[in-house]
Structure 1
Amino acid sequence: MEYVIGIDLGTSAVKVLLVDKNGRVKGEWTEPYPLYQPRSGYSEQNPEDWIEKTIAALKNVLQTAKIDPHSVRGLSFSGQMHGLVLLNEKHEVLREAILWNDTRTTEECREIEERVGKEKLLSITQNRALEGFTLPKLLWVKKYEPHIYEQAHTFLLPKDYVRFRFTGHVAMEYSDAAGTLLLDIRNKVWSRQLCHALDIDIGLCPPLVESAAYVGTLLPEVAEQTGLPTTVKVFAGGADNACGAIGAGILSEGRTMCSIGTSGVILAYEQTGNKQFAGKVHYFNHANPNSYYIMGVTLAAGYSFEWFKRTFAPEDSFSEIVKRASESTIGANGLLFTPYLVGERTPYADANIRSSFIGIDASHTKWDFARAVIEGITFSLNESITIIKESGKQVKSVVSVGGGAKSQEWLQIQANIFDTPIEKLKNEQGPGMGAAMIAACGCGWFTSLEECASVFKQVEQIVEPREEETKLYRELFLVYRQIYSQTKEINEQLKKLRK
């Protein structure tokens, strides 16, 4: 049997999957690494930690799977988006990487919008200037660490840096480049117009390649450390959300994914780069060639559930909370929750908004509150579904992954609120599986990612919406959508009292 490897470079750990030609996971290994937060709002990592732990994960997955390393034909990468890794002329790291969840760059975001213009920025990148993106980080370094910026020869994103260290090949692929805020996503080139407006040398931007591009084989020292042969082919890979979409089969029009982790993501396939969303949702190049995806984000999706559990039901399991919550009524006996614990992203890019419980009375129990939290998270995700539908796109079905897919009750709530059939996968493996699928296609096992998905993706269950429950949720959603506008000013006034 032959194998490919998918490497998912996450924020807290690297996960390696060993996958055979039938899409079966024959081995997996996770290695954690530290996150550094030297000041409030800062989030950094040492790129050397990524290298060390990825090598360790590869070595361990081979040892535990007990396969012949020469049967591994190829590998590819998925990675956390937006992070800034600055390299000098010798390709040495100049400072610790600034990550996607770093929020120090609010001033730089305003500077980008003022110097470029909001409409011009949207016309080129299809995205607003937000703190998470790479460009504001680059401007921050230029402003506050000029001695570092002056030494910079190029920049890479996290997984592209690891791939460079494995192969010696410097490049960035389109799905991750789209998250820098420097890519003209329709023309698939670095934007000279943006670089000129912001006084950035376009020479800092690395060469661009397709996600499935063959970029070389493993360097001898990497092969020796991991136990893999130097004949293993390496392919560029994709951003974590793009690879997650590949693994879930979001590869054609009408296909949509709902992922509930710490944050929540609604991701829909898009064939063109021409739709206009005025920055309400993210719009990125897909890892599938010549296509795109639209993405809405709820910042505190699973985090809201975890907060509720920690605060009100620490002794109860996830499944017990959801089960007891399902005993409450639709609408939690007249109680609504907005999951704005840490601000919100879609459709309200508002760092100051905070959560609310609306409609509390003395009859409500802990489990009514639990149901309101679950419904509120799903209502927030439905805001992204609604934006996608209002653009004229179809949402034929939704593949649910992450925490929201672990409960039959929550799957049914998703189906009812989204008014769409929900697919639960038999073996959900996240972005690492998408990376493995890119490698499988690169090795010639399949002619396209769609063909690969027909083999690798297996649906365990389809949950259909229930008409009467969907009707009730449609009415509740209209009420839910009023809460943001009616609490925004109150939250602005309360901001000064927060710790």
Structure 2
Amino acid sequence: MTFLGLDLGTSGLKAILIDADQAVLAEASAPLTVSRPADGWSEQSPADWIAAAETAFEALAAERSLADVRAIGLSGQMHGATLLDASDEVLRPCILWNDTRSFAEAAELDADPRFRQITGNIVFPGFTAPKLVWVQRHEPAIFDKVARVLLPKDYLRLWLTGEHVAEMSDAAGTSWLDTGARDWSDELLAATGLSRAAMPRLVEGSEVSGTLRPELAQRFGLSPEVVVAGGGGDNAASGVGVGVVRAGEAFVSLGTSGVLFAANDGYRPAPETAVHTFCHALPGTWHQMGVILAATDALNWYARLTGSDAAELTGGLGDLQAPTKTLFLPYLGGERTPLNDAGIRGAFIGLEHATDRAAATCAVLEGVTFAIRDCRDALAATGTTIDSLLAVGGGSHSAYWLELMATALNVPVQLPVAGDFGGAFGAARLAIMAATGAGAEIATAPAIARTFEPDPALTGAFDAAHARYRAAQTAIKDLT
């Protein structure tokens, strides 16, 4: 008996096959690209998601039989607006989470006090609802044909099962969910020109959402009785993957975006802090997130600028150094927590003759880390405290970055043993829950390979550097 997790990311789709003991048996992936047809725009073709899923299924089936797969779980990038007509045909490319074109529409919706009161969150430009208002205004012929709005992973679900279904953690990022009640808000839907008829049916992440379509089961050698779990938004699924499902547990994800994620056993909205308060992927649980839009994305941008690659840049840094004089603000496409500013842009400040490639690399890592520290401070303002962090994502492969993170945040940072405990693994765990009735007890934390402790000799210097970063942040806001 095996279980499959699919994680639809921005840069690729990943599949993980695990057994009933949660041992990873096989993995497969397929790359994806992002189209940026205008400044601040970010789009993908849903057809590319299906092609990537087909590639992953074929790769897994070539490695081993999939006949014993019992359930599939889904994880995916949040907030994307996938618009379908009455025949389930895609009307336009999906507008992604890091697309900021609807900043004016988001501000208008956020000015309506009902949105914060009901959703528990600011209406950010990257969320789904303002994108629909933008389409209504700028592409009215398309808006008039919209019969269904799906999130990215739920379009994969439609392909897998033929069902229009979403789950709570992803739906909480649309600005249409009553996050406390875990249900669509008819009032907020009406405020954006939509109704409940356009929304998918809601389930919990650990519940069954449908059964695999017979033609897909036959094509890839699966049983026609395979069920598909509700799954989770990428961060909620990652929380399940690393065992952050109980109050007091937290992780930091250094992926394309950066996320500081803390689990809660109750609903504690604080929209004024720009902290996201969403449903978790398990029933009766919620979580809070501070989100920055560019983490490894900022490092990869700098690597391209220097004609290098990220691993080469970070690999030669050695032991943690005192903060650089140069400051980097990682706002390449706006920022969420705590700024809520789609127009702010990044900067290098304090460049001098002594700023070489290594110093600039350190500045980039420090800038992203200070942005995560801002998220930590925002969560603290809601009463959420973090005593230690698990580190996941591509950036966690850099020991230098984790030493920096521990020292700049003055909190131990734990690195799990080698393995993938992210969204795909969490989705596979949710598949186990859906198929067997298991609960949060199977979402255990991974073994820890190494703990990075704060360097007391440098914490003061990084406190001072963060204060300079905040001053630079204010200056850049005034300029942009």
TM-score range, shorter chain: over 0.9
Is 2:67–2:221's contact at 8 Å kept on the other side of the alignment?
A: no
Deviations 1:389-424, CA, capped at 9 Å, x for gaps? 232222121111123311222211111112111111
- Indicate which of 136, 149, 173 corresponds to 2:167: 173
What is aligned with 1:481? 470
Q: Distance in 1 between matches of 2:458 and 2:383?
A: 25
Is 2:248–2:263's contact at 8 Å kept on the other side of the alignment?
A: yes
What is aligned with 1:399? 390
What is aligned with 2:323? 331
Deviations 1:125-163, CA, capped at 9 Å, x for gaps? 122222211111222233333333333332211211221
What is aligned with 1:495? none
Note if 1:278 corresponds to 2:277: no
- Indicate which of 147, 150, 154 corresponds to 1:160: 154
Letter in 1 for 2:448: V
What is aligned with 1:108? 105
Question: Structure 1 residues 168 and 415 mapped into 2: Cα distance closer, same or farther (>3 Å)?
Answer: same
- Report SS of the residue matched to 2:338: coil
TM-superposed CA distance for 1:208, in Å, is: 1.2
What is aligned with 1:471? 460
Note if 1:302 corresponds to 2:299: no
Is 1:328–1:368's contact at 8 Å kept on the other side of the alignment?
A: no
Question: Structure 1 residues 201 and 354 mapped into 2: Cα distance closer, same or farther (>3 Å)?
Answer: closer
- Report SS of the residue matched to 2:272: coil
Note if 1:236 corresponds to 2:230: yes
Stretch deviating more after TM superposition (353-362 or 233-242): 353-362
Note if 1:223 corresponds to 2:212: no
Structure 1: give runs of 5+ residues left out of the alignment. 493-499
For these two proteins, the number of residue pairs brought into alignment is: 479
TM-superposed CA distance for 1:328, in Å, is: 7.3
What is aligned with 1:207? 201
Deviations 1:244-268, CA, capped at 9 Å, x for gaps? 1211221112212111122211111
Q: Distance in 2 between matches of 1:104 and 1:448?
A: 40
Is 1:56–1:226's contact at 8 Å kept on the other side of the alignment?
A: no
Stretch deviating more after TM superposition (280-289 or 362-371): 362-371
1:250-399 equivalences in 2 (<5 Å): 250-312=244-306, 314-315=307-308, 318-326=310-318, 329-332=321-324, 334-399=325-390
Is 1:59–1:225's contact at 8 Å kept on the other side of the alignment?
A: no
Question: Structure 1 residues 167 and 253 mapped into 2: Cα distance closer, same or farther (>3 Å)?
Answer: same
What is aligned with 2:143? 149
Question: Structure 1 residues 51 and 70 mapped into 2: Cα distance closer, same or farther (>3 Å)?
Answer: same
What is aligned with 2:182? 188
TM-superposed CA distance for 1:356, in Å, is: 3.6
TM-superposed CA distance for 1:226, in Å, is: 1.6
Question: Structure 1 residues 341 and 151 mapped into 2: Cα distance closer, same or farther (>3 Å)?
Answer: closer
Q: Distance in 2 between matches of 1:366 and 1:48?
A: 40
Q: Distance in 2 between matches of 1:298 and 1:170?
A: 30
- Indicate which of 93, 96, 104 corresponds to 1:96: 93
What is aligned with 1:432? 424
The TM-score with structure 2 as length reference comes to 0.92
- Report SS of the residue matched to 2:411: coil
Q: Percent identity?
A: 36
Question: Structure 1 residues 390 and 166 mapped into 2: Cα distance closer, same or farther (>3 Å)?
Answer: same
Question: Structure 1 residues 160 and 329 mapped into 2: Cα distance closer, same or farther (>3 Å)?
Answer: closer
What is aligned with 1:453? 443
Question: Structure 1 residues 350 and 188 mapped into 2: Cα distance closer, same or farther (>3 Å)?
Answer: same
TM-superposed CA distance for 1:442, in Å, is: 1.8
Deviations 1:320-341, CA, capped at 9 Å, x for gaps? 5335444673112x33332223
- For the pair shown, the structure with the greater C-alpha radius of gyration is 1
Is 1:133–1:179's contact at 8 Å kept on the other side of the alignment?
A: yes
The TM-score with structure 1 as length reference comes to 0.89
Q: Distance in 2 between matches of 1:328 and 1:279?
A: 31
TM-superposed CA distance for 1:38, in Å, is: 4.3
Q: Distance in 1 between matches of 2:243 and 2:166?
A: 23
TM-superposed CA distance for 1:240, in Å, is: 1.0
Question: Structure 1 residues 249 and 100 mapped into 2: Cα distance closer, same or farther (>3 Å)?
Answer: same
Letter in 2 for 1:439: A
What is aligned with 1:80? 77
Is 1:126–1:279's contact at 8 Å kept on the other side of the alignment?
A: no
